[in-house]
Amino acid sequence: MTLPPPAMYPVACEVNGEKRLVRVRAADILLSTLRDQLGLTGSKPGCENGDCGACTILVDGLPVKSCLMLTVEAEGKQLTTIEGLKNSPVQHAFVRYQAFQCGYCTPGFIMNCEGLRNAHPHADEETIRVWLESNICRCTSYEEIQHAVRDVFTPKT
Ligand code: FES
Ligand code: FES
């Protein structure tokens, strides 16, 4: 007996400022669609369970772990991946403070920090510390990451 092909659903959304239309199965996760259909491999699969934050992107400006979001839920949303950042002060700060070793976690940390800028433009040290708890760095570059993110939120004279 041959099984029928799975039903496919069209999903229209904006990705990094461009309108995109994808066709997905009901259970497809956004992380896979971004990487496999749209070729945006900056968002990384880590735990694929919502724990590590390597897959973090912005959905309507706020950080979301794309391994936990179904692609069909992205209908009508504005998505930003690490590829969509242009001249981001967060990226510059990560480079300045060398806030990475292997770099696998870096896109997730940067996108989470971009979300923090949107949600709390004047975040204090405690807010930064708590916000970054949703990301894990297996190379343990936490100190440098904290320095970089704090720098982003330090008013420049
Ligand atoms: S891969 Fe999404 S949280 Fe780890
Ligand atoms: S720099 Fe390697 S996991 Fe964070």
pLDDT at position 156: 84
Mean local confidence (pLDDT), 39-61? 98
pLDDT score recorded for residue 2: 87
Write the burial class of residue 80 (CB in 10 Å: 0-12 exposed, 13-18 middle, 19+ buried). buried
Percentage of the chain lying above the pLDDT 90 cut:
94
Q: What is the pLDDT of residues 119-136, one digit of tens each?
A: 999 999 999 999 999 999
Q: For 20-42, how does the pLDDT look when each residue is reduced to its tens digit (9 = 90+)?
A: 999 999 999 999 999 999 999 99
Q: What is the pLDDT of residue 126?
A: 96
Residue 5's pLDDT is what? 86
Average pLDDT value over all residues in the chain: 97
105: Cβ below 6 Å to ligand 2? yes
Dist. CA 47 → ligand 1 center (Å): 5
* Mean pLDDT, residues 83-100 taken together: 97
Ligand nearest to the CA of 109: 2
Domains present along the chain, CATH in parentheses: 9-83 (3.10.20.30), 85-153 (1.10.150.120)
Instruction: For residues 35-61, give the mean pLDDT.
Output: 98
Query: Does residue 114 have a pLDDT over 80?
Result: yes
Provide the pLDDT for residue 86.
Answer: 92
Q: What pLDDT shows up at residue 16? A: 98
Q: Is the CB of 69 under 6 A from ligand 1?
A: no
Q: Is the CB of 63 under 6 A from ligand 1?
A: no
Query: Which amino acid is it at 10?
Result: P
Q: Is 9 in the pocket of ligand 2 (CB under 6 A)?
A: no
The structure's pTM equals 0.96
Residue 43 Cα to ligand 2 middle (Å) = 13
In sequence order, which ranges of 38-100 are alpha helices (DSSP H)? Answer: 89-96
